[in-house]
Structure 1
Amino acid sequence: MSDLASRIRAEIEASGPMRLDRFWNLCLFDPTDGYYTSRDPIGASGDFTTAPEISQMFGELLAAWAFAAWDGLGRPPAFTFAEAGPGRGTLIADMLRTLRQLDPAFLKAARIRLVEVSDRLAGIQAERLARFDLPVRRVRQIEELDGDGPLLLVANELLDALAIRQFVFRGGAWHERLVDAAAGGFAFADGPATTLVPAALARLPQPAEGAVFEVSPERDALCAALARRLAQEGGAALLIDYGHARTGFGDTLQALRRHETAGALDAPGTADITSHVDFEQVARAMAGAAPTLRFGLAAHGDFLLSLGLPERAGRLGAHADEAGRAAITAAVHRLAGRAQGEMGTLFKVFGAASAPLPLPPFVQPRVD
């Protein structure tokens, strides 16, 4: 048993079964043995692959969106341009490269910020961005972003990494799902019946026996902080993740190790733990903090296609050999396709802005 697993077991033995969000945060962010603090998880040699790692086209199209949003906000002469959860720095690097080509005035006006909690990943990001010779500053939380002027923020696969709590309906009552010690590891256990349940449950129909409901106070708090920042200073944000458009029942807790599904309670600190994002709750949290914001939600594929993914692929393919064109075509399908293993419908793009912007996802039909 690893040191982290031993420490988790000791806490459970001393204090009783542990809430899922506590277990989650220890597994991912423990200062010495946490998943994100002790390893580089992204890419073929890691445990999962994100859209920026699939193709440069993803970052190039998001750069075009950021430029159009800056233009739609009146081209403020000073603003904060941020990525939250930058991973290995691939997305922000592709965006900076593209923005420099589109119009140097954007980068001249921008204060570039990376919101990153992991010192290890922050070091990789700094190395990745050194070639741009730009003043890039790292902060740990969205609340630490500069308070003056508009904010343009992009976050790709950030919200799914924020801890959740789960409630299960058994015997006519809700019970919080807890993590308990078990022979050789850990297992789920039901807490006592409780009436202290998430407010969103009041909007749902009567649950069936065994139904699971997920809530993320941490996600709600981050979204509310971002909403207040946008409302106070102006700006726009894109939040991209896998998830669902409507609040509902379902157990979406999952873990990945070496690109394969793993047990969420197995070998703490060695696998990525995530859940699907409830984008209706994201909108609720942001609207509660800042009712004047505009919101939009689009399927990942529809969003990228509307930004010109096929056209960009065609231009790249015109200068590639046959193998290169095949790789570009495969990337387009992976990013925008609707088949199993493709991101087109599973992933969603949520937008929030302080002013009307004639851009996706604001101008696209509501996602069901």
Structure 2
Amino acid sequence: MDKNTCFAMITPDALIRGKTEEVIDYLLDKNIQIKNFLIKKLSEREIEEVYKLTYLEKVESFKRTHWWLTKETYAHYPAILLLLETNNLPDGYDNLPLYIKSFKGKSDPYRNDEHNSLRYRIGSLSKTLALFHSSDDLSSSERESSIFFNKGFLNKGNIHAIYSKEYILESLQFTDYQETSLYDSLYKIKKRVLYKLNYYLESSSNNIWSNIHNQLVNLYDQIEANTNMNFIEQHMYYKKFLEEEKKIMYSNQAIVIEIIQKLLIHEKGNIENEIFLKELYSLYIILLTLSDFENFPKVDFEELEVISSSQNIYITTWEKILLKNLLFFYVHEGGEKNV
């Protein structure tokens, strides 16, 4: 592989968010063309081979790994494998991998202060939802590209390279784009949980629960999804709603728990209804916990998935991935900690 060529990927999160064209346009503006491409759903072995050096570095430095989250995104959505090339390397760069590394930007939105970088301008959401991957150097580029492409493919350029962008976009035309932020997914799920709670509690608690429910609904209705904000702007925007929600939830915690406990006593002996109400109680505790940033680490996501399924609360695969990223990376203001 020569110095003017580099292996890269438009990662699954970029595809599902509808950011593919923006990534390609950014590269074209840098005088980097697509020599060839392949749209592929990666196997776990292939993902491990691409990221194994990064993973080992974290293990050796005793840092918390997010490998399970990386694998989860790739398990559900394809990536676009790219062979990039340029005929005009800028001065100061010995090869294309180093040049791309200089402008792709940090994956962590909190730490990426390079406002003209690819990830800042297009909007990386986290280390595992970072839009774009590229090899750091020539040896890595050769190793990573060999995972997917044989030498014939590497040496053969796309004879219609100028149309590669159109070919890629045409291949993705039936993709079900789901552009949303980490916090948008959080509140979409909260609204569904609140609806389910209200469905069963509104007829059992006079006006007490109705007042609490109306306060939350009024608060949620004030929230406007805005994907034009960068991550830090979104964090500050949603923070004020979380603080207000926390006041409502925790000031009424004892009242709601008492309402559900009375229902449990009333249904004692009816095993099916008891199980149902215990799940309802767990849903309330999850909603309570998700109103407080500091308590996010206490959320049992597996329990949320199981109970939501049992209670017929639908959560999309993409929403699950976004919520897991939010709970894992952004518990504390200031971004990722020891990651």
On whether the aligned pair clears a TM of 0.5, the verdict is no
- Pick the structure with more helix per residue: 2
Q: Report the TM-score when normalising by structure 2.
A: 0.25
Higher RCO (CA-CA < 8 Å; seq separation 6+): 2
Determine which structure has more spread, i.e. the larger CA radius of gyration. Answer: 2
> When you count strand as a share of all residues, which structure comes out higher?
1
Instruction: Provide TM-score, normalisation by structure 1.
Output: 0.24
